[in-house]
Amino acid sequence: MYLKEGCSLLLKTRKSPIPFVLNTNPIPNPDKPNNPVPESYVVESHVIKVLKHEPDIVSSLEYFKSLVNSGTFKHTQLTYKTMIEKLGRNNEMDGIQYLLQQMKLESVPCSEELFIIVMNSYRRAKLGEQCLKMFYRIREFGCIPSVKIYNHVLDVLLSENMFKMINPLYNNMKGEGLEPNVFTYNILLKALCKNGKVDGACKLLVEMSNKGCPPDDVSYTTIISSMCKSGEVDKAKELALRFEPVVPVYNALIHGMCREYRIKEAFDLMNEMVDKGVDPNVISYSTVISCLSDMGIIDLSLAVFGQMFVRGCSPNVHTFTSLIKGYFVRGRLGDALGLWKLMIQEGVWPNVVSYNTLIHGLCSNGNMDEVISVWNQMEKDFVRPNVTTYSTIINGFAKSGDLISACEVWNKMINCGCRPNVVAYTCMVDVLCRMSMFDQAFDLIDSMIADGCPPTVVTFNNFIKGLCRSGRVEWAMSVLYQMEKYECLPNIRTYNELLDGLFKVNAFREACGLIRELEEKEVELNLVTYNTIMYGLSFQGMNQQVLQLLGKMLVKGVKPDDITVNITINAYCKLGKVRTAIRVLDNITAEKEFCADIITHTIVLWGICNWLGTEEAIVYLHEMLKKGIFPNIVTWNVLVRGFFSNLGHMGPIRILDDILGTQ
């Protein structure tokens, strides 16, 4: 198996340039019968029909040119409009520019409708600046700017986040004596909200009313949604009280509550809707169901699902997808698959999001055979897999250990023309590291820049983790200092992986240097960092320093976990402070913050055998057995070694008989 080389080249498709030269001398070509040159007068309706039904843009243009060159047909406003619309759908903006110029030369006026088509084409091509330049030339083409055209240009600027250009254009519109309508104001409201100026948007609402243009549902919903997204849900709710609430506004408020997991208040809003005679729609219910599913409260989300049916509201694909996700979160695989079948039976057609949810759930449960079956079904249902689909499957195969299949999925993604995103790249870096193909993994990271998808800290962390696991810590350390080249700053996980790798190869001095670097940079250490350093110190026999670091950790407010406790108990035992270790363990256990497992008890037994004698070890073992904690092979090895080191006190066979007799 191999990773397809030159993948970055496959991601970039270049269109061959289309020649837009009209009015050339026709040269008959008898070998090309598909290039129609009409011999008699052609009617407009026939030309439009041919242009609309020809699937190939180049052939359409050839036909368009052939009519000009033949002299038997003069293009009209309608034929130009049809051709320009077709070019716009293919993002051939140079062609549109040329045809507009041709219309100007032939004195064919541009209608308002045609110019709106041109503006929408610029929006589709994400060329806001060129759209604005074309708008300022509108009079050259015999078209007078209208409020409708202004609205479309403003919408293009909004879609491109060109906020600085919106206000001058709006002032230009008013300067021409054109009165803004509700659509104009709604675009301005969206612009203000997207720019974080919600207060300005609220003032604009007042201006609308004062100018005799009352806000509509879109106006209020825009502001309420923006406030909820910025975490001002309560303020949004207060604003909603000033006008008659409608379903979209309620839905925005419900979504805001659900974003903050204020599920009770979301239910209150739905009850308020019913009380005021406003019926919750599928969006209302689906938002609440999605929130409950994310919270793992699947039974309640199922109750809401049932309530939808009672109130005559049919669920959509989003409703079903949210429920299926909730079942997977709770590990209820059978119920999730059952709900998927119900969705199909109800005639709700799955989309790519629902397929991705199902695939993710199956991957999480390791059902990779079922994943492939679902993937094949997507193709049968004509649902095109996206980059999320591919990255989920790649990650699923990687976690299941099938690295060859992960590479095959990557190659299929590239061959299908699906451009990897940073998640897909990061998954593939992890796969290559698991296969010890570190050179290829680094090349893939390098190619991410060229493909306009710069690596993130997660990408580098996966690479560093793979290097450290294979003992290539020097390379991992060099990657740490190369991250700056990619304008990517390391985080605490980066340092945790490196510290773990350094301690495992016994590079204690380098690990201490990295710890000093963390202190100098004032990086906040987390639980994993403390555990990693404490383990490394313990391995070096520096148990007093382990306890000192524990104190520092507690002062910083970092709560210990099971690993911390075991390292601490081990440090006390190594220092001969076994009774202190037992007392600490008893206190933690009494507070129910920690449940000692066989590893903890084995550490304590080791300390008792080495410092207190075998008789106390037997007593401790009896207490373990009473608690239902049974020794494993490591525990027995500790005990036997302890007994043989104390043969002067008791015979080992007698001791073992005594212990085994109690079980």
| Span 285-298, pLDDT tens digits | 999 999 999 998 99
Spatial contact of 188 and 204, defined as CB atoms under 8 Å apart:
yes
Q: What is the pLDDT of residue 187?
A: 92
pLDDT tens by residue, 621-631: 999 999 889 99
Spatial contact of 511 and 499, defined as CB atoms under 8 Å apart:
yes
On the question of pLDDT at 323 being above 90, the answer is: yes
517 belongs to a structural domain: no
Q: What is the pLDDT of residue 656?
A: 45
568 shares its domain with 617: no
Q: What is the pLDDT of residue 70?
A: 77
578 shares its domain with 602: no
Residues 489, 483: Cα–Cα separation, whole Å? 7
- pLDDT tier for residue 190 given thresholds of 50, 70 and 90: very high
Q: What is the pLDDT of residue 373?
A: 95
Spatial contact of 280 and 312, defined as CB atoms under 8 Å apart:
no
Residues 194, 223: Cα–Cα separation, whole Å? 10
CB half-sphere exposure, 611, CA atoms < 13 A? 18
For 592, list phi and psi in degrees, rounded to 5.
Answer: 60, 25
Residues 409, 393: Cα–Cα separation, whole Å? 7
Residue 663, token pair as written in the block: 């079980």
Q: Which domain holds residue 569?
A: 525-596
532 belongs to a structural domain: yes
551 shares its domain with 663: no
Residues 603, 476: Cα–Cα separation, whole Å? 33
592 shares its domain with 604: no
On the question of pLDDT at 9 being above 80, the answer is: no
Spatial contact of 112 and 146, defined as CB atoms under 8 Å apart:
yes
Q: Which of 176, 191, 213 is the last residue of a domain?
A: 176
| Rg, Å, the chain Cα set | 35
- How many domains are there within the chain? 3
46 belongs to a structural domain: yes
Spatial contact of 547 and 571, defined as CB atoms under 8 Å apart:
yes
204 belongs to a structural domain: no
Residues 461, 493: Cα–Cα separation, whole Å? 7
On the question of pLDDT at 581 being above 90, the answer is: yes
Residue 142 DSSP class: T
On the question of pLDDT at 652 being above 50, the answer is: no
385 belongs to a structural domain: no
Q: What is the pLDDT of residue 536?
A: 95
Considering the chain, what is the average pLDDT of its residues?
87
Which residues lie below 8 Å from residue 284, measured CB to CB, with a gap of 6+? 247, 250, 251, 254, 270, 273
653 shares its domain with 560: no
Residues 661, 57: Cα–Cα separation, whole Å? 89
Which residues lie below 8 Å from residue 617, measured CB to CB, with a gap of 6+? 605, 608, 609, 639, 642
Count of C-beta atoms within a 10 Å radius of residue 645:
12
For the chain, the first-to-last Cα distance in angstroms comes to: 54
Residues 132, 158: Cα–Cα separation, whole Å? 12
Q: What is the pLDDT of residue 16?
A: 45
544 shares its domain with 584: yes
* Distances, alpha carbon 90 to alpha carbons 93, 124, 152, 155, 261, in Å: 8, 9, 20, 20, 43
Report the percent of the chain where pLDDT is more than 70.
Answer: 91
642 shares its domain with 531: no
Q: What is the pLDDT of residue 341?
A: 94
On the question of pLDDT at 548 being above 80, the answer is: yes
On the question of pLDDT at 573 being above 70, the answer is: yes
Which residues lie below 8 Å from residue 457, measured CB to CB, with a gap of 6+? 483, 488, 489, 490, 491, 493, 494
Q: Which of 539, 571, 596 is the last residue of a domain?
A: 596
Closest of 164, 188, 162 to residue 174, by C-alpha? 188
Q: What is the pLDDT of residue 217?
A: 87
CATH number of the structural domain spanning residue 62: 1.25.40.10
Q: What is the mean pLDDT of residues 81-99?
A: 90
Residues 169, 129: Cα–Cα separation, whole Å? 12
On the question of pLDDT at 43 being above 50, the answer is: yes
Residues 270, 279: Cα–Cα separation, whole Å? 9
* Distances, alpha carbon 156 to alpha carbons 84, 130, 546, in Å: 18, 10, 61
661 shares its domain with 570: no
Of the candidate ranges 96-110, 465-479, 633-647, the one whose mean pLDDT is the lowest:
633-647
- pLDDT tier for residue 486 given thresholds of 50, 70 and 90: confident
83 shares its domain with 141: yes
Q: What is the mean pLDDT of residues 613-622?
A: 90
Spatial contact of 639 and 631, defined as CB atoms under 8 Å apart:
yes
* Alpha-helical segments (H) within 365-472: 368-380, 387-400, 403-415, 422-434, 438-450, 457-469
Which residues lie below 8 Å from residue 279, measured CB to CB, with a gap of 6+? 247, 273, 311, 313
Residues 138, 112: Cα–Cα separation, whole Å? 10
289 belongs to a structural domain: no
Residues 380, 390: Cα–Cα separation, whole Å? 17
Report the percent of the chain where pLDDT is more than 90.
Answer: 60
Q: Which residue has the tokens 């419900």?
A: 254
393 belongs to a structural domain: no
* Distances, alpha carbon 395 to alpha carbons 356, 423, 428, in Å: 13, 10, 8
Closest of 348, 350, 358 to residue 308, by C-alpha? 348
Closest of 542, 547, 552, 544 to residue 518, by C-alpha? 552
Spatial contact of 536 and 499, defined as CB atoms under 8 Å apart:
yes
Show the 3-state SS of 505-566: CCCHHHHHHHHHHHHHCCCCCCHHHHHHHHHHHHHCCCHHHHHHHHHHHHHCCCCCCHHHHH
Closest of 233, 242, 250, 177 to residue 215, by C-alpha? 242
557 shares its domain with 620: no
Q: Which of 579, 596, 613 is the last residue of a domain?
A: 596
Spatial contact of 413 and 420, defined as CB atoms under 8 Å apart:
yes
Q: Which residue has the tokens 């084995």?
A: 602
Burial per residue of 243-275, b for 16 or more beta-carbon CB atoms within 10 angstroms, e otherwise: eebebbbbbbbbbbbbeeebbebbbebbeebee
**Is the sign of the CA dihedral 411, 412, 415, 416 positive or negative?**
negative
Residues 597, 603: Cα–Cα separation, whole Å? 10
On the question of pLDDT at 663 being above 50, the answer is: no
Q: What is the pLDDT of residue 565?
A: 94
577 shares its domain with 602: no
pLDDT tens by residue, 92-149: 888 898 899 888 888 888 889 999 999 999 999 888 899 999 899 988 888 889 999 9
95 shares its domain with 154: yes
Q: What is the mean pLDDT of residues 500-512?
A: 95
Closest of 175, 126, 181 to residue 149, by C-alpha? 181
619 belongs to a structural domain: yes
- pLDDT tier for residue 660 given thresholds of 50, 70 and 90: very low
Count of C-beta atoms within a 10 Å radius of residue 6:
9
Q: What is the pLDDT of residue 434?
A: 92
